[in-house]
Amino acid sequence: MELHNDVERILLSEEQIKARVAEIGREISLDYQGKKPLLVSVLKGSIVFMADLMRSINVDCEIDFMSVSSYGRSKTSSGVVRILKDLDHDITDKHIIVVEDILDSGLTLSYILEMLKSRGAASIRLCTLLDKPERRKVSVAVDYAGFTVPDDFVVGYGLDYGEYYRNLPYIGVLKPEVYTK
Ligand code: IMP
Ligand code: MG
């Protein structure tokens, strides 16, 4: 395993990501004038996006984190979602923005969104950095999306393969031999 060397090609550069995150931040800032949104990051993949996005939002906001079971080393969704860490906040009457790294099958997010809705939030919107529509199994409404990506498994900028590669500053596609090791 060798971090940068395992990447076959860079899909989104640091500069591209930075520019797009700033745009989304501006859009959210305009949409939430006079409101104090609670940004909910779904661990762990979205932490890098969350950290950049929150600094490009210029209205008062709070942050919180939740963690659900992930795929582990497997690359496909099991459809089973388990809450490993719940929110610290009571979200009743709050304006929630769920911040995700990637919308893939939609199974994880549709579960999370339904659960948050049942807790009486004033509003819930979804902000995902990446959208992989070809893989969707359940439809999920996206309010803010950074980039639409093809059906390739991507890593970096928070996204992992077997918990590694999250610290790549760009988003890339791994060499096929990395999966067969
Ligand atoms: P979904 O339930 O299939 O939409 O799964 C979403 C989660 O799967 C994301 O939050 C990621 O953790 C993971 N995931 C889906 N596609 C990728 C990918 O291409 N690279 C890395 N992680 C992925
Ligand atoms: Mg993951």
- Residue in 104, 151, 152, 160 annotated catalytic: 104
Ligand positioned closest to the Cα atom of 155? 1
Rounded Cα distance between 38 and 167, Å, is: 25
Atom of ligand 1 nearest to the CA of 76: 3
Rounded Cα distance between 181 and 179, Å, is: 6
Tokens 């067969």 sit on residue: 180
Query: pLDDT in tens for each of the 181 residues of the chain?
Result: 789 999 999 999 999 999 999 999 999 999 999 999 999 999 999 999 999 999 999 999 999 999 987 554 555 665 667 889 999 999 999 999 999 999 999 988 998 999 999 999 999 999 999 999 999 999 999 999 999 999 999 999 999 999 999 999 999 999 989 988 6
Ligand positioned closest to the Cα atom of 174? 1
Q: One-letter amino acid identity for 108? A: T
The pTM for the full model equals 0.93
E strand or H helix at 144: strand 144-148
Residue 88 known to be catalytic = no
Atom of ligand 1 nearest to the CA of 70: 12
Rounded Cα distance between 24 and 164, Å, is: 27
